Amino acid sequence: MSRIGVFVCHCGENISRTVDVEQVAKAAGEIPGVAFSCDYKYMCSDPGQNLLKKAVAEQNLDGVVVAACSPRMHEKTFRKAAQAAGLNPYLCDMANIREHCSWVHEDKKLGTVKASDIVKLMVERVKKGKSLAPITVPVTKKALVIGGGIAGIQAALDIADAGHQVLLVEREPSIGGHMAQLSETFPTLDCSQCIMTPKMVDVANHPNITLYTFAEVEKVEGYIGNFSVTVRRKARSVDEDKCTGCGICMTKCPKKKIPNDFDQGHGMRTAIYVPFPQAVPNTPVIDRENCTMFQSGKCGVCAKVCGPGAVDFKQEDRITVEAVGAVVVATGFKLYSIDRKPEGSPIQGYGEFGYGTLPDVIDGMTFERLASASGPTGGKILRPSDGREPKQVVFIQCVGSRAREKGISYCSKVCCMYTAKHTMLYHHKVHDGQAYVFFMDARTPGKGYDEFWRRAVEEEEAVYIRGMVSRMYQKGDKIVVMGSDTLVGVQVEIEADLVVLATAVQAQDGADLLAQKLGISYDKYNFYSEAHAKLKPVECATAGIYLAGACQGPKDIPDTVSQASAAAAKVMTLFSKDQLERDPVVAKVNEKYCVGCLACKKVCAYGAVEEKEIRDRQGNLVKVVAYVNPGVCGGCGTCQATCPSKSVELDGYTDEQIMAMIEAL
Amino acid sequence: MTATKKHLNYSFYPGCSLHASGREYDISTRAAFKALNVGLKEVPNWFCCGATPAHNVDELLSLSLCAKNLAMAEEVEGDLAVACAACFSRLKVTQHHLKADDNKRKQVEIAIDGPAALGKPVKHILEILARDLGLARLEESVTKPLMGLKVASYYGCLLTRPPGVPELDDAEDPSIMEDILRALGAEPVKWSHRMECCGANFTLSRPGVVLKLSGAILESAQLAGADCIMVACPLCHSNLDVRQASIEDKSRTDYDTPIFYITQLVALALGVSGTKLGFESVIVDPRPLLTKKQLL
């Protein structure tokens, strides 16, 4: 006969309001095999846990059921307490009478009956339960960081500085990301490149960091501590080992008029190029679509002038497979475009702003490039259409953000601050110019942020107009901006020379596809989901994968750097052990009965099922059976439900246990 | 071999304006449809859609007026053709609201003592011309292309808005009018004020507003080099045409810009005589322009 202890929690009033906990404890005491039952106000508190420990010892209990909240909340707490009292932790289970009962019911009488039933089920399960030992898996102490913007750079440097190997993979030819594009940064107006480029160089020089630029993660397999990642290193057409970065190829390339994405298409580059002079690595890439050699087979000037002979037109993509123990995802963001969206897109463009057809209506990032000393205008604010210096500039905030009718309801968080910064940069460069800002409200939570915004308004003479813009159109060489000033209650019309839109921050293109490769979840805007909004902000629900920066949601630089360091700290914690303990709730195959149909392999979402050959002593193949890799198994039980010969079972959820639970009702 | 051309038939809700101040719109719509051999049968006993006043005063009244008209239209075969932009808007908005809100629909069905005809397709004549009939067939039917006529196509507020309700075209950057004009051989101009408000009902209560807003539309059309403006709404027509003299007085500018209903231009291009399209009954006489362009 079992000796089970049942502990019923009040959860303050969360449970006891709609469940008669004393009655539940009393009823539990009458279940055969229950040796002890009681109720307590807060089981998770220290006295509560002590109550459990004491009862296990004094009553000589061989199983425990805690009737309280969800096991997601406190299973670990109580299993630890049971273990401390000398019980196998897997013989301690929770009956969820809060989320599954008291929170969703109003009738106390019926609630009490249901709670008693839930307790009864769990008692039966524990009765048939077995002692389990945690599984240990080795940890590969090397991290993969995806994305080489400030988030990825910071995470990579932190992990590498702690003495671990890091593989940093960046899609573009250079690391640096969006931060390298910025002119000056709020709230201190320090030059973005000046603080960014040293970190980029540190990455390149760090002995523990392997840098793959112009590369993409193709496949991720495995599990925490033991991932296998496949990286495609796209053909640069330039041999990194031979290239000295002298740049003569770029000066001689005859194709010179290709819009440079780094300058938002406003600067020009050659077909063999580095995106910007401070690029890391400083090895050029040939843009094959625009290269005369690749398009017509004639030219090859770059190869002729290259002293070390680094240009290699025949270079092919290289596939590299690497073993890593943890992954930091830092893929960043892109900016919303007001262009007409394809039919059926849930996100809409701005027809009232001309769908991006007015040349002097630009986005915030383009303004950054215009204001940047390394930008296409050498830091002069000149408008795209005719290269004139604009004397009236209208800035518009919340374009696409907080606009449910356009398909995006969230706040992009950085626009209020960078627009204030833009007005200052403009005022510093064009002394007789006037900046206007249309805004809904100024959101300035951050150290020194509100002071910065006030400075834009009070000292730098930006005119802030609280209201939205309904329409803009070209009139001669001006753009007429029609909006409202809701504080004064009048309609406003401004004839602007340049309009700058603070467009929404969106998840990177292909963010969803990468998430599917990684097996992590994302929201409807394709931002990656953290495991817990407050308490696990850098972890994914998938163990061993961490998030840094704007791929998780719009973020400014300080927040991004903090999150990147936090993700790095999580990786270091993981790497602090040689072996990793995992929950032993995994499937096991009974090889005697398994007929090798491998139906389980087809349904396994984790790819944990392998084929195993059974041979006799002479080495003759007897049969093929399924084998579940305990390191990979997620413990979902789908194989168990699928198996036609009932020869695979999940520890902790065996058929015997489940049947006993059903029979108890 | 040409594809079989199905014969199109519509029920027709003209609305009050088309029987009064916008008579030319009614005449030219019927003429154009006749020339295209498209059937148009007026809904018997139709009454006012409630227009702007009803929905400003009482939502239930406004929805019920439209629902009752829709129910009566159900008795006539064919999708419901509407010419007036305001009637079109009210009928579409009614269907939209009642489909989305069961409680409202029940209230309205009690008020009109019968089911609301939410499934009856309501179509603006622009849609019928450009989509049901099709631009290719329209172009084939043109016997007198409007060569050299530079037209500013004016959509106003209601044809495409609010987004997702009329489903006529892109809410802020439509092209259906320009497409039709090209099919007629005319030259649509690119201009800035095609989606702006003309001042609408303020024409009676605060005419100053209309002089300002409609004035901006006339100015913008002139800057774009348009010979005339094309509309699909009787109230826009009235504001741009009837108020044009006052606008000219106020702004000391000579516009002399004729305002056409879309169907007047369609009918003209299809070869209907210019004497039968109501050109004589508008304020800014379009005949000198049409004569100059050799279109009369």
SS3 A251: helix
- Non-local (6+) Cβ contacts of B285 within 8 A are B258, B279
- Are A245 and A360 members of one domain? no
Where does the pLDDT of residue A581 fall: very low under 50, low under 70, confident under 90, or very high at 90 and above? confident
Q: What is the DSSP letter of B129?
A: I
Q: Which residue of B has its CA nearest to A472?
A: B192
Residue A142 pairs with which residues in a beta bridge? A165
- Are A41 and A123 members of one domain? yes
Where does the pLDDT of residue B1 fall: very low under 50, low under 70, confident under 90, or very high at 90 and above? very low
Contact A352 B172 (CB under 8 A): yes
* End-of-domain residue from the set A127, A158, A181: A127
- Are A301 and A272 members of one domain? yes
CA of A17: how far to CAs of A40, A70, A100, B128, in Å? 14, 17, 14, 64
CA pair distance B3, B5, nearest whole angstrom:
6
pLDDT in tens, B201-233: 999 999 999 999 999 999 999 999 999 999 999
Pairing of strands A469-475, A478-485: antiparallel
Average pLDDT, integer, range B186-205: 95
pLDDT value at residue B239: 97
SS3 A160: helix
Contact indicator for A528, A522 with CB cutoff of 8 Å: yes
Contact B170 A348 (CB under 8 A): no
pLDDT value at residue A208: 98
- Weakest mean pLDDT among A114-128, A321-335, A619-633, B36-50: A619-633
- Are A301 and A270 members of one domain? yes
> Which residues does chain B have within 8 Å of residue A407's beta carbon, measured at their own beta carbons?
none
* End-of-domain residue from the set A90, A106, A127: A127
CATH of the domain at A322: 3.50.50.60
Average pLDDT, integer, range A305-325: 96
pLDDT value at residue B2: 45
Domains of chain B: 9-123 (1.20.1050.140), 143-292 (3.40.50.11810)
> Which residues does chain A have within 8 Å of residue B192's beta carbon, measured at their own beta carbons?
473-475, 480
Residue A496 pairs with which residues in a beta bridge? A479
CA pair distance A493, A495, nearest whole angstrom:
7
> Which residues does chain B have within 8 Å of residue A475's beta carbon, measured at their own beta carbons?
192, 220, 223
pLDDT value at residue A506: 97
pLDDT in tens, A352-381: 999 999 999 999 999 999 999 999 999 999
Contact B195 A348 (CB under 8 A): no
Q: What percent of chain A has pLDDT over 90?
A: 93
- Are A209 and A250 members of one domain? no
Dihedral sign of CA atoms B161, B162, B164, B165 in order: negative
Q: Token pair 């089911």 is at which residue? A: B115
Nearest neighbour of A473 by CB, restricted to B170, B171, B192? B192
Distance from CA of B76 to the nearest CA of A (A): 34
Contact A351 B196 (CB under 8 A): no
A54 sits in which H/E element: helix A46-59
SS3 B249: helix
- Are A153 and A262 members of one domain? no
pLDDT tops 60 at residue A194: yes
* End-of-domain residue from the set A561, A578, A595: A578
Structural domain range at position A356: 335-506
- Are A353 and A487 members of one domain? yes
Q: Which residue of B has its CA nearest to A474?
A: B192
pLDDT in tens, A594-631: 999 999 999 987 788 999 999 999 999 999 999 998 87
> pTM, whole model, 2 decimals?
0.84
CATH of the domain at A120: 3.40.50
> Which residues does chain A have within 8 Å of residue B173's beta carbon, measured at their own beta carbons?
340, 351, 354-355
| Strands, E assignment, B33-149 | 39-42, 79-82, 122-124
- Are A120 and A189 members of one domain? no
CA pair distance A492, A494, nearest whole angstrom:
7
Of A137 and B69, more confident? B69
CA of B85: how far to CAs of A24, A407, B231, in Å? 68, 27, 9
CA pair distance A79, B202, nearest whole angstrom:
75
> Which residues does chain B have within 8 Å of residue A481's beta carbon, measured at their own beta carbons?
none
**What is the complex's ipTM, to 2 decimals?**
0.83
Contact A351 B173 (CB under 8 A): yes
Structural domain count, chain A = 5
Contact indicator for A179, A222 with CB cutoff of 8 Å: no
pLDDT value at residue B5: 56
Tokens for A291?
A: 């290269």
Average pLDDT, integer, range A311-338: 97
Nearest neighbour of A351 by CB, restricted to B171, B196, B223? B171
Measured N-to-C along each axis, helices B85-100 and B102-111 cross at an angle, to the nearest 10 degrees, of 120
SS3 A461: coil
pLDDT value at residue A632: 79
- Are A467 and A349 members of one domain? yes
CATH of the domain at A618: 3.30.70.20
Where does the pLDDT of residue A343 fall: very low under 50, low under 70, confident under 90, or very high at 90 and above? confident
Nearest neighbour of B172 by CB, restricted to A351, A475, A480? A351
- Are A105 and A24 members of one domain? yes
- Are A447 and A381 members of one domain? yes
3-state per-residue secondary structure call for A568-595? HHHHHHHHCCCEEEECCCCEEECCCCCC
Average pLDDT, integer, range A377-401: 97
Residue B237 corresponds to which amino acid?
H
pLDDT tops 50 at residue B254: yes
- Are A26 and A114 members of one domain? yes
Tokens for A261?
A: 């994405």
pLDDT tops 90 at residue A14: yes
pLDDT value at residue B64: 97
Average pLDDT, integer, range B148-170: 95
pLDDT value at residue B3: 45
Nearest neighbour of B170 by CB, restricted to A351, A475, A480? A351
pLDDT value at residue A175: 97
Instruction: Give yes or no for A339 touching B (CB within 8 A).
Output: no
Contact indicator for B248, B284 with CB cutoff of 8 Å: no
